[in-house]
Structure 1
Amino acid sequence: MLQNRAKGLEPDTVEKLESLAYQIHNFCCAVEELLKIAAIYFEDNISDSPQWHTP
């Protein structure tokens, strides 16, 4: 979706630039929310016991 919006992007196409910026903003907000969920899950538990099994 993001690649489709970036096709033919030129500085004078304000609508396309705004659309692309909006998509990037939404992606960053989604990543931020996922990181918040991970931080809450691991809060005060990261060093207590390993959550990952390494071979």
Structure 2
Amino acid sequence: MAGSVMIYRYPTLEAVWERIKGDAYWTQGVWDRERVVVREIIGAEGDDALRLVIEK
């Protein structure tokens, strides 16, 4: 595999990093820690409605 993408929904980027650093792939050294990139994605119109459906 050449790479992967994951999308997380957390209130802060710090919370995302906590999740990543708790993952078995991180703790066992599967992921190349020097190449992990975390970026914020701004939600699209209607994202709030989607969030309400997912969180119920």
Q: Same fold (TM over 0.5)?
A: no
Give the structure-2-normalised TM-score.
0.26
Rg (Cα) greater in structure: 1
Give the structure-1-normalised TM-score.
0.27
Q: Flag the structure with higher helix content.
A: 1
